[in-house]
Structure 1
Amino acid sequence: MRRRLLTSTLVVAVIAVLLLGVPLGVVVSRLIVDEAAQELGAEAKRLVGEVEYARVQETPLDPQQLEQKYPGRYIQIWERGTPLRVTVVGTAPASGHLMTEDAQTNTGVYVRISRDRDQVERDVRARLLLIVALAVAALAVAVSLAVVQSRRLTLPLRDLAKIAERLGSGDARPSRHRYGIPELDRVAQVLDRSAARISDLLTREREFATDASHQLRTPLTGLTMRLEEIVAAADEPEVVREEGEAAIVQAERLTAVIDELLAAARRQRHAQAEPVAIDEVLIQQVREWEPVFKDAHRELRLEGTRGLKALATTGGFGQVVASLLENSLRHGGGRVTVTSTSGDNYVVVEVADEGPGIADEIAPKIFERNVSGGGGTGLGLTLARALAAADGGRLELVRRRPATFAVFLRPAEDDGRGNRVVSGPA
């Protein structure tokens, strides 16, 4: 491209110089010749007047004085009379190439003045050489401008090609380069926007992989515990059967979690929210986590209003409750209470423990990614809030000490608020 720009610019400059320089040279040469002829004619007329005046005054002509007055001229003067007088001033050019002008009077005075034509032609050649030098200088300037312009165009294009290649290799950092050329700047802006979108997509992919690994860990842990119970109770057929059925439930829950993750990745979870029986999800979660809390010598209780329904997805809401229970198990202390209540606008599920609570410096950003107060991954609460929001609800920290988290869900139209029951063990 750079070579084509240089070639095209040089061709255009040469054509322009020829179109302007050739006519200019012809005009200049003609002007110089015409000017020399006019000057010689004017000298001839002036000289014939001087000869006529000297004749009237009967003053003889002085050839030396005329030669000093008209240097470089060859002059011939004829005066009519008896005899005919001829006066010659100067010497004829050796080349014999003359430019001559004549003048005469009615009284018989005839003057011929000549000059060397080669001198006029040398003057013409000097002017033409000056025009050629100016043309060469114009071509040099045109080539220099073409080089600068080609560099100004080709270097940004090479830079844009490198940026595009970098985007293709997975480096999605915006370049922020601008070149002062509107068209190239628009291309750079488009590449920067594409880089931002690609970076966002890659970030989402990484977050999805991280979220998937974190959310799959909980059901896998539950499945492992059930399988360990099966191994420990190999001599008790009834226990083995019961634990095997629980393991199947865990496997089904794991499948549901995978489906929920894929739906979340496609941004389809909000459209799948439907009336869900709150009790079924809470009881299922309490049953899964109760053995773990017993091993930790802690109590897990279920309280509140029964028979509530809310708009959610079973897998998503179950994941939220599981994340809160795991958070209480790892970072809390004492008894953990799961309470379900209903209001005019929301169905609320609270998970509270009796531990030391959440530090004041962490509480404002507890739901931010990678924020943890106890050496955890910092993803559980972030994912739980995202799942609750995907179902049209929200997850909030309602009390810092002891820590109490609440899930607010939209009530189903047919929730049919149940009766209050006395609290007791799960």
Structure 2
Amino acid sequence: MTDTTLEQPTVPLFPIDPLGTDRHGEAAQMRDLGPVVRAVLPGGVRMWVVTDYTLLAELTADPRVGRDWRNWTALRRGEVPDDWPLLGMIRLNNLMARDGAEHRRLRRPLTRHFTRARVERMAPRIDQIVATMLDDLPRQVAADGTVDLRRHYAYPFPMQVICELIGVPEQWWARFRALIDTVIRADTTAEQFVAAQQERHELFQRLFAMRRAEPADDLTSALLTDDGDEAEDAFTDEELEDTLWTLIGAGHETSISLIVNATRALLTHPEQLAMVRAGDRGTWGQVIEETLRWDSPVGNFPARFPTEDVTVAGVTIPKGDAILAPWSGVNRDPQQYGETADRFDITRPVKRHLAFGSGPHVCIGPALARLEGMAALPPLFARYPELRLAVDPAELTAVPSIFSNSVTGLPVHLGPEQR
């Protein structure tokens, strides 16, 4: 694919591994190349990458840098095909892809209904879901004595929570999960991408018809009936569809990775696990925050687009070019966390991280992610105190994705169950 932007010879090109096989090694290589590099994505699409923690935080807060894909010069010129699979994370009609007044209009209904109070009201139900799944884990043990903790615990738990919150019928949960996998995976074909977009549209139209006919105590019903403080606040069906699609995707994919990555971190750092076992419940909060920093659920997230030329570390990023945010990479930036940035350490004094993004488009669901982490991790280790990995950590396979930063499976031995 031809790149029509003016090349700057001092800015190196870096081919992003679409399969994410060495996410943190890749991030370190880009940092070594400089604070600003050009990434080459599948299909030859190029995006700028800011590898420095502070510079990226400043850039994402810059009002000249927005999320509206209509400003993407390469897309407008037809240099990015309509069936490019990664467009599913970019070309949306919701608050993630709007700026300024339009972003605020689309965010207001969510702030009214997707509140911390609504999330916290779900806490008893979340605990009930966790207890049921922990009870069921021994029945999921394979013939070799292992159980895939991702498949049988980390995945179904947050998927059930977000679907119940939104009001998705249980019989649709598996299809939504499959459709989201299609969007985030790097090995999705153009045909699969187009089919997935059509199917999710049809599912949402059916959901809206159901909730208009019979409203329920869920987020879909609340947003369908919300006329807003101002007349223009009300969502169109397309805006609501893309909003709920993003909430389902982000609302469970990040929690899956948080639970898997935290469990893997503790099982491969026994000295840290010992500190957790010796501490109070507040220590688990440190586990969650350090996991969010050390092994952030989101690897790279597209895309932002300058509405005018911007200069970062002496490099000019032209108006309309795409910028990829390497959230997991900058969360190990030695300039921010010192020479121990690559170390998993729950006693780390610097707790601030960018796992949920930064700027006006910061993630709207951190409270739910943290609540799910606190609900899932302590009882898992309490119920199965001899929990251990069943394979060498080097044998774990990364999720084949530019976006998702985790592994496809987490085989463990449960050990004797402690009820």
Question: TM-score range, shorter-chain basis?
Answer: under 0.3
- Normalised by the length of structure 2, the TM-score is 0.18
The structure with the largest strand share of the pair is: 1
Which of 1 and 2 has higher RCO (CA within 8 Å, sep 6+)?
A: 2
- Normalised by the length of structure 1, the TM-score is 0.17
